[in-house]
Chains A and B, each alone.
Chain A
Amino acid sequence: MIARIKSRTREVAHNLADWMEERTGIVSMTETFLFEPVPSKGKWLYTLGSATLFLITLQFLTGILLLFYYAPTADEAWDSIYYIMTEAYFGQFIRGIHFWSANILIVVIGLHMVRTFFSGAYKAPREMNWVVGVVLILLVTILAFTGYALRWDQEGFWAWEVGIKIGSYTPFIGQYVATFLLGGDTAGPATLSRIFAIHVWLLPALLAPLIGAHLYLLRKHGEFGAEFEYSKRLSELRERRQIEEYSSYTEGEGSLEDDRDSRG
């Protein structure tokens, strides 16, 4: 009975997969997206990129949820976060995920970068992917910094003040950078509006296509050290071995014939 249910379920699942594949190509697409050969040595280290992608996706999802309650005004920002934390069901949970996954994201990106560096995966022909990755880490850092300020509490506010002060030390354009980030000559409602626009719209809009480019370049060149990295060398090696084996076989056969001749 159980065996029959199992086989029936399997059959339905297969049919459904076939039906979807025929119409959308989703099964083969999933295979293409998910199956990426990685070197057998240090294979767990090659999950850091996927972990980063997962955490960024989590940031997008929880960020969208937070937007349903967050009010980006100087008067209400902190109160709206207080509401999320104390009144909204699962608010603490959702914000906790956003906060902690942002913190973990920075660590995971750092480890991902360290792995890339020490495995030499930044070398030719992958230099551009390294450059895209560096831009991505800068964007994520700015995202973390602007997110910190969005709370508009003492910590976030003063961190932003310090950030603006650092920006004001930029040679030649320091004062312009400061007034641009402040939205005037003092911190106020315009400052928070700018931080919000940068955090919620500008940076994610830059981040998403760059992640796409990062993944495209990864697929184009493959993971460094993967088997196909050496596929040409391996195929030449196999060919050489085959020739060697064949020649040794024919040489062996020749010597047998010589033996027969000598006996005959």
Chain B
Amino acid sequence: MAELQRDPVSRGQFLTMGIVGSLVGAVLTIPPTVYLLSPTIQTNFQGRSDIPDEWVEAGSVWEIPSGAPIEYRVEFPQNQTYDAGQPGAEEEPTPEGVAPNVGTAINTVLVSWRDGNLPGILEDNGGTQTLSAPEVEELSRRINVLSNHCAHLGCPTRWQAEKGLIVCPCHGGEYDINGGYRAGPPPHGLFRFAFEIRENGGLYVKHDFTNGTPWVV
């Protein structure tokens, strides 16, 4: 009976096998998993972005009409696969004749005045096209700088003048001129770009959003 109960593998052997097995398993699984998940680790845990944290000019406040948004296509520099993706990577010397491998992410920005009303400042500016600090502050309060990506599934929305609404072609999501939710499946209004207005009326945007992450280009 005692003979039958005796385990052919001793506790020491079992422990050694467990440790060696875990080590081999770790060597075989961790590197490929981390390799595949590196964008997730860098983005979600290290806070890295493909788009450098810098202002890009979209247009000018003088161009924005009343009653409808204006569309700007903004090209953000994008570091993704072909370089280190770190700040300053594009400044590294490149072989002669080879362009730096920095691509661009093109975003469409819908810019309008709140409720479509042109601010009086712009009408009474006397054509100087220079803005004082209080004027910039006032315009910043009255401007909508929106991503055109639908808050539902990211389809590109557009302004429909006959409806007076921003409409998504995919599932019929509707937003008012301020980007507020009106109808359809979107869970909330359009994403808003971080922006700044400069003295000359230049409108600059960052690839940064004040109300969530749209997961778009």
Contact = CB atoms under 8 A, between A and B. Distances in A.
Interface stretch (B89-97, B150-158, B174-182): B150-158
Contact of B50 (A74, A161, A164, A184): A184
Given A165-B215, A179-B39, A179-B44, A188 B154 contact: no
Interface residues of B, number: 29
Interface size classification for chain A: 20 to 34
B75 to A, nearest CB: 12
Contacts, number: 82
B81 interface: yes
Contact of B154 (A74, A161, A180, A189): A161
B217 interface: yes
- Among A74, A186, A193, which residue has the most Cβ atoms of chain B within 10 A? A186
B50 A185 contact: yes
Interface string A60-90: 0000000000000011000000000000000
Nearest to A197: B36
Interface string A161-174: 11011101000000
A186 B50 contact: yes
Main secondary structure of the interface of A (DSSP, over half): helix
A176 B40 contact: yes
A178 to B, nearest CB: 5
Interface string B35-65: 0110110111000111100000000000000
B216 A187 contact: yes
B80 A180 contact: no
Interface of B: 36-37, 39-40, 42-44, 48-51, 78, 80-82, 85, 103, 105, 152-156, 170, 207, 213, 215-217
Interface of A: 74-75, 158, 161-162, 164-166, 168, 175-176, 178-180, 182-190, 193
